[in-house]
Amino acid sequence: MKPLVFLLVLANLLLYAFTEGYFGRPDSPDAMRVEKQVLPERMRIVSRGEAPSGKGTVPEPVKVPESVKPPEPVKPEVVAEPPKVEPVSKVVEASPVCLAWEHLVAADADRINTLFNEKFAEFKVSRRVVASEGNGWGVYIPPQPSKAEAEKKAGELRQLGVTDYFIIHEGPNRFAISLGVFSSEKGGQERLAELKEKGVRSARSMPRPGKDSTVNLQATGPASARESVLAAVAKTMPKAEVQGCK
């Protein structure tokens, strides 16, 4: 133990003598620092006794050759979406249907005509009287919608100087205005020409219906109601045969 302590004390004394220069010092105090330098050839002197400038030197940016520059990112093209167009459903309307009943007696024709007026007002009904031979010809103004309209039309006739007329109040030609009855078609046509000279434009010449006369009906309207019309007519007139219009 004592020898170890002695050696430690001796080592401390030698270290103290060396640091204090008892074993000798180099001529220059910096000589020791120079010996301790690592790679002194890479040292660069910035200035010799000059104060550094206050502004830091900004290094110039290094120019990169065009061939080395990375390609600029390509911006995706924004394609505007076309406006949405809602599909338009085309409504195709079916052609109107035309139904015909021929050679009806006047009473049956009136019943079918009344059925259309009450339940199928969208149909346009026309009637034509097929007169038997020997019943003569008549000149008429077609039936008016109401009694008031018929009287109004009669007033217009009086203003034109026509006084030989009368309003029909019964039958299929109700509210029509009769302007004369003749035994032949020629007499009816002459009367019609006379009325036109006075300014009457709505008069018509036609055969007079007799007891053997028949009536032809035509009804034109939407095709969607065809089956309903046929069912209603069949219920009212089971023996009436429907035909296509000619």
What's the mean pLDDT in 116-136?
81
Residue 208 contacts residue 131 (beta carbons within 8 Å): yes
HSE, side-chain direction, 13 A CA sphere, residue 58: 3
Q: Would you say residue 226 has pLDDT above 60?
A: yes
**Among the ranges given (54-63, 109-118, 129-138), the one the predictor scored with the smallest mean pLDDT:** 54-63
Report the C-alpha gap between 142 and 200 in whole angstroms.
13
Give the Å distances, CA to CA, from 3 to 7, 12, 13, 17.
Answer: 6, 15, 15, 21
Report the C-alpha gap between 195 and 94 in whole angstroms.
42
What's the confidence (pLDDT) of residue 196? Answer: 92
| Three-point CA angle 144, 147, 150, nearest 5° | 50
Considering only CA atoms, which of 148, 107, 139, 106 is closest in space to residue 208? 139
Residue ranges per structural domain of the chain: 94-132+211-246, 136-208
Domain 94-132+211-246, CATH 3.30.70.120 — does that match?
A: yes
What's the confidence (pLDDT) of residue 231? Answer: 93
Torsion (CA) 147, 151, 153, 157 in degrees, nearest 10? 150
What's the confidence (pLDDT) of residue 48? Answer: 61
CATH match for 136-208 among 3.30.450, 3.30.70, 2.20.200, 2.30.30: 3.30.70
Within 20-59, residue ranges assigned H as helices are: 31-35
Report the C-alpha gap between 122 and 58 in whole angstroms.
96
- 31-77: per-residue pLDDT in tens? 566 566 666 666 666 656 566 555 555 556 656 555 555 666 666 66
Task: Place 161 in a pLDDT band, splitting at 50, 70 and 90.
Answer: very high
Buried b (16+ CB within 10 A) or exposed e, 123-146: bebebebebeeebbbbbbbebbee
Task: Place 136 in a pLDDT band, splitting at 50, 70 and 90.
Answer: confident
- Please determine whether the domains at 94-132+211-246 and 136-208 fall in the same fold group of CATH: yes
